[in-house]
Amino acid sequence: MSYKVLSLKYRPQNFLEVVGQEHVTQTLVNAFKKDRVGQGYIFTGPRGVGKTTTARILAKGLNCKDSKDGNPCNKCNICHEITEYRNLDVLEIDGASNRGIEEIRNLRELIKFTPMNSSYKIFIIDEVHMLTNQAFNALLRTLEEPPSHGKFIMCTTDIHKVPDTIISRCQRFDFNRISINDIKESINTILLKEKLESDVESVEAIATKSEGSIRDALSILDQVIAFSDSKINFKDVEKILGLVSSEVYFRLTDSIKDKNAELLLETLTEIRNNGIPIDDVVKGFNVHIRNLMYASLNDGVNVLDISDDLKNKYIESSKLWDLRDLLRITEVINDLEVNINRSNQPYIMFEITALKLLEMDQTIFIEELLNKSFTPTDDGQKKNELTDDDKVEKEVNKSIEVDKKESDELNQNLEDSVNTNKENEDLEDNLKIDIDYVKNKWSDIVTTVTNFRTSVGIVMDHSIPIEVEKGVLKVEIHNQPKFSIDLLNNNKEVIEDIIIKQLDKKIALNFSDIQGENDSIEINEKPLIDNKNKDKNSDAMDSVIELFDGEILR
């Protein structure tokens, strides 16, 4: 007899044997009990989790004459025919290779004929998402109202590619990824039936590598059995699956903890030379950090499905780590795991990340830093307690500080006196400012103000310096609205700074508003604008500008 692979040899033949999908199998069993089996089902979920297997069991449950609550007897001719894919009333169609409208039309014709030797004519459409839109449209009417003897069971890994009109006509069941514990239990059961021995780490590695797919797990197990001798050991599994030894990960974390650059470089070189896919290395490293964190918690190591020797090793290693540091490391690794597949140089990215972790400082609480000065000494005396010599030194320092304070006060008084004299000298100097000199510089002052802020400069065009009295420069503003005067007053400090720089004299400003005068005073060689020549709408414009705090730009 030819060899049959494990995934086919140990394929579930009833609902009780289906692993990890109790929410699906229990619902279907209850539907049989209550005689509420629908006309259409759609099974969706990841690969290798039992969708097609469940569809075949459902087909056998519908047609087996000795089925009990939907579980077929697997002894009658109908059950054997369906199991061996040769029953004429149960047709399994590959949606990927029969995806056109013609194939669906043929299916619609076939379903019209009554079953030959079964209760129902059942169509199992695998990978149904591969059908064309025209094929889906052709299927709609038949799927909604099939003949009483017709049933549809569709399977897909990409439910989002199936039209909503199809899904709404079926009962949808979402298959989950199978847990690692369920996969390990299945592997151990098969190993027992195959009379093979294995260690815990090997089963754990196979189950983890399968990523929730029981079919992938059995395919890997087939490969491992073919490679190994009478007993499966973890070293063989590491070679076949390209796994990184836990010793490598312990060396990585030890080098990071001890800041041992030489050990880190040796470990990184070993990883590169082994040619292991770097994304597998990163995933394994992340799991290793997770194990260290679990081991640092009370009874946390018992959650891990690893050997007792490895558990003890994780416990001892976790004692050297602060949980906060491990959390920081796993954050870095998570970011690396997201970005490494997009990198052109993934090994270099991993190595650089490892070097960054080598430079990572240890976590410390702020309270620890603050309390360091209060750490007890060997003789029980606190460091913050002063000895007699310390007290004498403190008194001397205090005396020195008092003398220094008195000296500083004396120097400050002297400086204040000097500053006062200087201010008086500046005031006297300001009193000597000649108004003609100010008028000659006024044009430059207005230009500087205009460059700084145009709206202020426009108002300054209508100003003229009148006199300087006791350091105060009086400036008249002619024929300007009130808000323009307010604009000057709001910017008085800026204007004063510009005037001080131009005149090199300390001076204060006093603006006076002159309204209604029709003189011909020239300011900056420009005639003042006569109110009589203003536009009729100028008053309205002034009101709008004042209301919205605007300004006229040149």
In this structure, what CATH number is given to the domain that contains residue 203? 1.10.8.60
- Co-location of 166 and 288 in the same domain: no
pLDDT-derived band at 279 (thresholds 50, 70, 90) equals confident
Q: What's the whole-model pTM score?
A: 0.58
pLDDT-derived band at 394 (thresholds 50, 70, 90) equals low
- Domain boundaries, position 514: 435-547
- Read off the pLDDT of residues 148-200 as tens digits, 9 standing for 90 and up: 999 999 999 999 999 999 999 999 999 999 988 899 999 999 999 988 888 88
- Co-location of 283 and 327 in the same domain: yes
Task: Give the max Cα distance, the chain.
Answer: 126
Position 273 pLDDT exceeds 90: no
Domain end call among 220, 241, 262: 241
In this structure, what CATH number is given to the domain that contains residue 298? 1.20.272.10
Domain end call among 336, 358, 380: 358
In this structure, what CATH number is given to the domain that contains residue 161? 3.40.50.300
Q: Tell me, what's the pLDDT at 202? A: 87
- Co-location of 467 and 498 in the same domain: yes
- Co-location of 151 and 229 in the same domain: no
**Which of 112-121, 428-437, 513-522 is the least confident region?**
513-522
- Co-location of 15 and 90 in the same domain: yes
Q: Tell me, what's the pLDDT at 73? A: 92
- Read off the pLDDT of residues 329-351 as tens digits, 9 standing for 90 and up: 988 998 888 888 888 888 899 99
- Co-location of 309 and 228 in the same domain: no
Q: Tell me, what's the pLDDT at 382? A: 46
Greater confidence (363 vs 381) lies with 363
How many structural domains comprise the chain? 4
Q: Tell me, what's the pLDDT at 141? A: 86
Residue that is written with structure tokens 């131009």 in the block = 502
| Most confident range, picked from 1-10, 46-55, 316-325 | 46-55
Instruction: Choose among 74, 123, 72, 134: nearest CA to 99.
Output: 134
Q: What is the DSSP string of 219-251?
A: HHHHHHHHHS-SEE-HHHHHHHHTPPPHHHHHH
Q: How far apart are CA 422 and CA 550, in angstroms?
A: 42
Position 230 pLDDT exceeds 70: yes
- Co-location of 267 and 337 in the same domain: yes
Q: How far apart are CA 109 and CA 122, in angstroms?
A: 13
For residue 279, tell me if it sits in a domain.
yes
Position 422 pLDDT exceeds 60: no
Q: Of all residues in the chain, what percent carry a pLDDT higher than 90?
A: 31
For residue 414, tell me if it sits in a domain.
no
- Co-location of 21 and 101 in the same domain: yes
Position 27 pLDDT exceeds 80: yes
For residue 542, tell me if it sits in a domain.
yes
Greater confidence (480 vs 350) lies with 350
Domain end call among 194, 223, 241: 241
For residue 119, tell me if it sits in a domain.
yes
**Which of 148-157, 299-308, 423-432, 538-547 is the least confident region?**
423-432
42: which strand partners?
Answer: 154, 172
For residue 105, tell me if it sits in a domain.
yes
- Co-location of 54 and 167 in the same domain: yes
Q: Tell me, what's the pLDDT at 237? A: 87
- Co-location of 15 and 152 in the same domain: yes
Q: Tell me, what's the pLDDT at 98? A: 83
Strands 90-94, 463-469: pairing kind? unpaired
- Read off the pLDDT of residues 499-528 as tens digits, 9 standing for 90 and up: 888 887 788 888 887 765 444 344 444 444
H helices present in 275-365, as ranges:
278-295, 308-318, 323-339, 346-358
Q: What is the mean pLDDT of residues 433-443?
A: 82
Q: Which residues contact 414 (CB under 8 A, 6 or more apart)?
A: none
3 state SS of 445: helix
